[in-house]
Amino acid sequence: MADDSSLEGLKDRLTALQFHVTQEQGTERAFSGEYWDHHEDGSYHCIVCNEALFSSSTKYESGSGWPSFFEALDSAKVRLIDDLSHGMTRTEVRCAKCDAHLGHLFPDGPQPTGQRFCMNSASLDFTPESAK
């Protein structure tokens, strides 16, 4: 858990929604975020610490209204935690570097992984692929 001073700094830097999602395990409304219908080539970084977490090459249309990926850029970049809140058994996904809440992982994704990383746009910052 971050100390109060760094939390205050984050509050200044992030929007209220970004803060709520990443620090209070919030969830943005489906179809409301910046990236669920975003199709450019590039990478998605943690909004808090800027670590690259997902690639557009693993992003797919899940129909959920949240940006969905079938694989993380590197499995070591995300931390998976059992989440028993809201009367459900889910797997929470956090940034391994700064512990920001990103979203949840479900076992109903497409091949080759069969996984669905259901992320919040508010947790991510998109970086376009640099010019070749």
**Minimum CB–partner distance for residue 29 and Zn ion (Å):** 22
**3 torsion bin: left (phi>0), alpha (psi -120 to 50), beta (else):** beta
95 binds Zn ion per the rule CB under 5 A: yes
- Annotated active-site residue 95? The verdict is no
**Stretch of residues binding Zn ion (CB under 5 A), selected from 5-13, 67-75, 90-98, 124-132:** 90-98
Nearer to Zn ion, 46 or 93 (CB): 46
How far, in Å, CA of 110 to CA of 99, rounded?
Answer: 26
Residue from 20, 25, 38, 49 binding Zn ion (CB under 5 A): 49
Question: What CA–CA distances, in Å, run from 108 to 14, 69, 78, 118?
Answer: 31, 11, 18, 11
How far, in Å, CA of 7 to CA of 5, rounded?
Answer: 5
The burial of 36, by beta-carbon neighbours within 10 Å (0-12 exposed, 13-18 middle, 19 or more buried), is given as buried
Binding residues for Zn ion, total number by CB under 5 A? 8
Nearer to Zn ion, 2 or 49 (CB): 49
118 binds Zn ion per the rule CB under 5 A: no
**Minimum CB–partner distance for residue 94 and Zn ion (Å):** 8
Task: Return the active site residues.
Answer: 118
